[in-house]
Structure 1
Amino acid sequence: MSSAPSAEEQLDFLTKIQRLFNESDFSSTYKYALLISLADLAIELGKEDDSPLELSNRQVAERFIELYWQQATPYKTSESNESGILFQNNGTQAAIVKAISEFRQQNNCNSSQTAKRSKEYRKLVTSVASTAAKQPINYLQNVGGGTLPFLYERNPNSITLKSGVAYCLRRFQPLIQQLARSRWTDFIKKNTKNISILGEKDDLNSFLFETSRKTLAFVCKGLKELYGNKCFYCNKSTSELEVDHFIPFSLYPRDLMHNFVLACPACNRSKSDTLAAKMHLDKWVELITNNSEAVAKIGEQAGVSSNLETSLAIAKWGYESATLSNGLTWNKQGSYDKPD
C-alpha cells in the first residue's frame, strides 16, 4: 500500500527544488512553465500518496499553451511608444511563443479553451510537445553543472514523476508557483530586448498571469444573468457584486470559470485568501455541478478556461491541504471553522 513521503523526504524534496532554482541555467522561461505545469497536473491527476504519476508530453504541452496563450500577444503600456510580444529567452523569440502567436493569427480563437476546437490545434500541441520534450523536459534536472534526476524519468512520449514527487508537488504547489512566477517575471524584466516594450510601468505580472478586468467584468455580467444579483456567501441582494475565486487565487493561481462566484464587497474582503467553510463548499459543488454547461458557456464567451472535473479536483486538494496544515476556513465575517 502506498503511503505519504516522510517529513525527511519532503524536506529533501524542497532542498532539491531550491537547488534547481538557484543552480540551474535559465536561458528561457520554459523551465518555470514546466515546474508550474507539473505542480498543476499533480494536483489535478495525482493522489495523496507516494505513487508515481505518468504525464504525457501532450498533457504538458496543453498546459504550456494555456500558460503562454496571453503572453503570445503584444504587450503595450501607456508609458512606452513601442509594443510587441515579450521575449521569453536570451536568443530569438522562444519557439513555443512563436508557434502560439502564429496559431492565434491564423485561427479565430479568443482563448486556449476555444482553440481546442480548431482543426489546427492538434498540430499546435504536437509542435509544443516536441519543443518541450527537447528543451525543458530534457534539461530541467541539470543542476550545478551536473544532473539531479529527482523529479521524473523520461519516456518516449511521456514522463513519469518519481515516487513521492506528485505528493510533494501537491503539498508545496503554492510555494513552487510563487517562486516560478516571480522568477519568470524577473527573467522577462531583465531581458534587454524587452526594455523598449516594458517602459517603466510595473504591471507585467498582471499581464503574464492574471485575467484582465475587462474579462472579469464580462464574467460578472454572465454570472449575474445566471444566478441573479445575490452574494454567493451571505445571499444578500446587491448590485455591487464582485467576482471571487472560490478556491483563492493565492492558493491556486489559475483562473477557471467554474471557480468563479459572485460576492458582495464585504464578504469578498473578509474571506480574502482563505478557503470557505464546508457549508459554502457543499453549496459551491452543487451549484457548479447543476449549472456546469451554462457556466462553461460564459467562460467560452469570456475567453476563460472551464473544466468541472478539474475545478473539483483542485478543491479536493485545497481542502485536504488545509486539513493537513490545521488551517481554518472562513464562515462569515469574523467567524472561522476547522476544515472537516
Structure 2
Amino acid sequence: MSAPTPSAETQLAFLTKIQRLFAEGDFTATYKFALLVTLADLAVELGADDGAALPLSNRQIAERFIQLYWRHAVPYGTSGNDTASGVLIQNAGTQAAVLTAIAKFRAVSRANTVQQARTEPAYRALLSKVATVVSAQPLNYLQNFGGITDPFLYERAAPGHILLKPGVAYCLRRFYPLVQQLCRVHWVDHIKGNRQNHEILGDAGDLEDFLFSISRQSLTIIGSELLKLDGPKCFYCGLSLQDAEVDHFVPFSLYTRDVAHNFVLAHATCNRSKSDSLAGSQHLEKWLERLTSYSSQLDEIGFAAGVPTSRATAHRVAAWGYGNAQSVGARAWVKPLHYELVDDRHRDLLVSR
C-alpha cells in the first residue's frame, strides 16, 4: 500500500540520524556497514518512490551478506615484500562469524563464486548460519547509538523478518549514493584500524577495490562474453571496437552493486565521455530491448563471471535512477559534448517495457 512521501524535514531528520549512527555507534565489526549497504540496495531494488514500509526477510539480508563477504574470505595480499598474505580480520576480537562460515564452506566446496555456491546442497546450511548471525548481531545492534536505542530504520516483524519503517525505503533510495559512500569509507577505515591486519595490509592502496569492486578476472570474462553476444561494436556509437571497455549502463557511482544485465561494451572514448552520467533515451531504448532479447544469455554470462544476474533488478534500478534524475532536473549523455534533459521520454520507456 502506498503512503505519502516523507517531507523535507523528515528527510533531513533521517540524514541527521544516519550521521549520528556513524559518529556515535559502536562498530566492533563490519556487520553494521554490511547491513546498511544491504538495506540500501534492497530499498532501491524492491522499494518504491513513496513513503510505504518495506518488509524484508532475514534470509534476503543473509544472501546479500554472503555476496558482500564472499571475496573477503580469501587471503588479501599486496605485492610488497614487507607484507604477508592472509584473510583480513573484520572484528575487534576473533574473526567475524560470517567470514568464518564462508571460509569453511569454500574450503570444502568446488564453488569459486556465489552463483556456483547457490547450486550446492550445503549452501542452504550456510545461508541459515549467516541469517542467524545477522539476526542476533547487526539487526539487534545497528540502531544503538549515543547510549540509546533509536529504532528509526526498522522494527522486528514476523519471525525471521523486519519491516523498514514508513519513509525509510524512500530515504534510502533518495540518498543511496551518500549512504553507500559512508559505509564504504568507514568499512575500509575499520579494517585499516584493526592492528591484526597491519602485517597483511602494508600501504593497502587497493583495499577498497579488493573489498567492493568486481575482480579483474570477472571483468575479463564479461568482456569476452559480451563481445560474442553483441559483436565487436560500441553499444553507444555503434562503431567497430578495437580495445573494448566494460561499462556500467547505470553508472557504478550511482548504483554500486554489480548486476550482469547492467554491463555493456563501449569505446574508451564513449566510456570516458559518458562517465558517471545516465545514458540518453536512444541508448535506454536499446538497452531495454537488449534486456528482453538477451536475458537468458546475460544470465549465463553472469553465472560464468560470478556476478549476480537479474533482468528485473536491472530494470528496477534503471527506473529508480532515471526517476531520481528527472526529479532533480538532471541531464543524460547522448554522445560526447551532447546531453538531453531526463524527462517523461525516459520514464515512459521504462514503464512500457
Q: Could you state the TM-score of these two structures normalised by the residue count of structure 1?
A: 0.98
Between the aligned partners of 2:205 and 2:269, the Cα distance in structure 1 is 28
Report what 1:104 is aligned to: 106
Q: Which residue of 2 aligns with 1:59?
A: 60
C-alpha displacement at 1:251, in angstroms? 0.6
Structure 2 Cα separation of the partners of residues 194 and 211 of structure 1: 22
Task: State whether structure 2 residue 75 is matched by structure 1 residue 83.
Answer: no
What is the deviation of 1:189? 0.6
Partner residue of 1:171 out of 167, 170, 174: 174
Give the aligned length. Answer: 340
Cα distance per residue 1:108-138 (max 9 Å; x no partner)? 1121122111111111111101000100000
For the residues of structure 2 that align with 1:159 and 1:308, how far apart are their CA atoms?
26
Give the counterpart letter for 1:11 in structure 2: L
Preserved CA contact (<8 Å) 1:52 1:161: yes
- CA distance in 2 between counterparts of 1:114 and 1:310 reads 20
Tell me how far 1:81 sits from its aligned partner: 4.2
1:124 maps to 126
What is the alpha-carbon root mean square deviation over aligned residues? 1.0
Alignment partner of 1:47 is 2:25: no
Alignment of 1:182-197 (within 5 A): 182-197=185-200
Task: Report the counterpart of residue 348 of structure 2 in structure 1.
Answer: none
Quick check: 1:222 aligned with 2:225?
Answer: yes
Judge conservation of contact 1:111–1:305 (CA < 8 Å) in 2: no
| Residue 312 (structure 2) pairs with residue 305 (structure 1) | no
Give the whole-Å Cα distance in 1 for the aligned partners of 2:25 and 2:314. 32
Ranges in structure 1 where 5+ consecutive residues have no aligned partner? none
Alignment of 1:139-178 (within 5 A): 139-155=141-157, 156-178=159-181
**Selected match of 1:276 from 275, 279, 298:** 279
The reply on whether 1:247 has 2:250 as its aligned counterpart is yes
Deviations 1:45-74 (A, max 9, x none): 111111111100000000111111111111
Structure 2 portions without partners, runs of 5+: 344-353
Secondary structure at the aligned position of 1:236 is classed as: coil
Deviation at 1:239, TM superposition (A): 1.6
Task: Supply the distance in 2 between the matched residues of 1:218 and 1:284 (Cα, whole angstroms).
Answer: 20
Where does residue 74 of structure 1 map in the other structure?
75
How far apart, CA to CA, are the structure 2 residues paired with 1:279 and 1:3?
Answer: 33
Q: 1:291 aligns with which of 289, 294, 309?
A: 294
Aligned to 1:138: 140
Deviation per CA, 1:217-236, whole angstroms, max 9, x where unpaired? 22111100111100000000
Report % sequence identity.
54
User: Shift in Å at residue 213 of structure 1?
Assistant: 2.0
SS in 2 for 1:286: helix
Contact in 1 for aligned 2:83/2:201 (Cα 8 Å):
no
Shift of 1:214: 2.6
Give the C-alpha shift of residue 281 in structure 1.
1.0
Q: Which residue of 1 aligns with 2:207?
A: 204
SS in 2 for 1:243: strand
Q: Encode CA deviations 1:280-308: one digit per residue, 9 max, x unaligned.
A: 11110111221111111111112112111
